[in-house]
Amino acid sequence: MGKQLKIVSQNYLQRFSRNSLDKLKHFQDEIIIHKIDIFSVSPLEKKIQRKKWSEEIIKMKRYLYVMLYLLLIMGCSTVPKVVPHPWNKTLSDEEIIQGSTIAIETTILSTPLIGSQELLEEEIAQKAKSLLERRGFYISNSNYQYKMKVLFSVEKQLETITTSMVQNSHYSGSGMTVKSGYGITLANLISETVQVSKSEVSTNQYDTYTYSFACEIYTASGKLIWKNDAIQKAYKFNVLDYITPMLQIAFSSLPKDENIYPRVPKIKETQVKNFLSVKVYQTYLRCPALPNLICFEDYWLDDYEYKPHKFKQNYSKNPQAFMAYIDLLQTAEFAIPGSKIKKWDNPLDMNNWRTVYLIGKYYLGNDQNPVNIVVKLKGTPSFYVVSKCNIVTDEEYNSYYQKYNLWVNKLTVFFDFFEKG
């Protein structure tokens, strides 16, 4: 009575991907159970069977190599999906003098909300005041040299959006209509480059919101000398989430005193966990210097639903400074690429933007000395994730500041299009 050798081998590679791989289908390979009577088969049959096993093993190895390769890709940073940057345009009739006194008047023309908007207008005025004071201006409603009018409206629409995917196609719009800092101009250029990949057409209806913004500066005699217009479309209604980046983009064309550091609240040690849970978890931010969404938590795509990993709080050794991290993310005018410096000659090379750094100095709470803030962003297919955010030493900050200056100089050369007259 012959013995039977039962060989069972089964290998499933489960579907795994992020947004850039969301069309990748799971591989599946099943090796059927083979029952072989090792005493009854002929030598030729044994040889044929061994060859078949060898082919099956080679096939399994290939699938394994593909899986390891894809896991390696997903473990590395990538360039996030670009989202629309606010369209904006600045016109100026004369230079605004730094250190001048400005009076601020805010008017909300329309929103989906009903009732008085005085409190919201005051909140916008306070944000404008804070951002202008950082640039070295004084804010007062008396004895002023300039008067600034901030006009804001939000309109709600129901839009039918048809998405068409075409293999490896892209086009670029013109991005040089904005007079602003070079870092923000670069973000506009990248935002206007649309890239899509194969191969579906889908139609959906969404509530969309159009944020229209105008900022005007008048002389004390009433002459209009400076104006910024901006429009931002979004799928979310939250005025305060959008007003800070839009104001910062507008003010980026005004002179700035680099030696003025903002002061932000310092979080209580006992309240850090609560603050992170309420203000940081599942929150998306917009940075003027980047045409991408930013969040403090990473997500995986699982059955087409975003499900967060366990909330990580170990990316910051100084959680009491989280208000500084958030403020820097919403106001930074330059983002330092994490790529090698020799690649910086072409700022539009997307490979420069897999990892980026933001730096700034802040006063925390009532502290008398400013602290050095460095935020590291790691790219995922959908957005940037805050990888690290910490207070650093002067020596470490200076090393980043040297790169910051080098990057600003690179952009200055890149945008220096015309010969001097």
Going along the chain from its start, the domains and CATH numbers come out as 4-75 (no CATH), 83-257 (3.30.160), 261-421 (no CATH)
Residue with tokens 């000659």: 345
- Taking the C-alpha atoms of residue 313 and residue 276, their distance in angstroms, rounded to an integer, is 8
Kindly list the averaged pLDDT for each block of 10 residues, start to end, along the chain of length 421.
Answer: 36 38 40 45 63 67 59 58 72 88 92 79 92 94 94 78 42 36 65 48 68 91 92 74 84 89 93 82 82 71 44 71 93 92 88 93 95 94 88 96 94 86 66
Instruction: Write down the pLDDT at residue 188.
Output: 64
Instruction: Write down the pLDDT at residue 280.
Output: 77
Q: Which DSSP symbol is given to 352?
A: G
The 3-state DSSP class for residue 202 equals strand
Instruction: Write down the pLDDT at residue 117.
Output: 84
Token pair in block for residue 326: 């958030």
Kindly list the distances between the CA atom of residue 402 and the CA atoms of 99, 341, 359, 369, 409, in Å, as whole numbers in the listed order.
Answer: 27, 12, 11, 21, 11
H/E stretch holding 37 reads: strand 28-37
Contacts of 190 (CB under 8 A, 6+ apart): 82, 291, 348, 350, 353
Token pair in block for residue 171: 């086009």
Count of alpha carbons within 13 angstroms of residue 401, beta-carbon side: 12
Taking a C-beta distance cutoff of 8 angstroms, is the pair 217, 227 a contact? yes
Instruction: Write down the pLDDT at residue 314.
Output: 57
Instruction: Write down the pLDDT at residue 389.
Output: 92
Instruction: Write down the pLDDT at residue 198.
Output: 42
Instruction: Write down the pLDDT at residue 92.
Output: 85
H/E stretch holding 147 reads: strand 146-164
Instruction: Write down the pLDDT at residue 56.
Output: 67
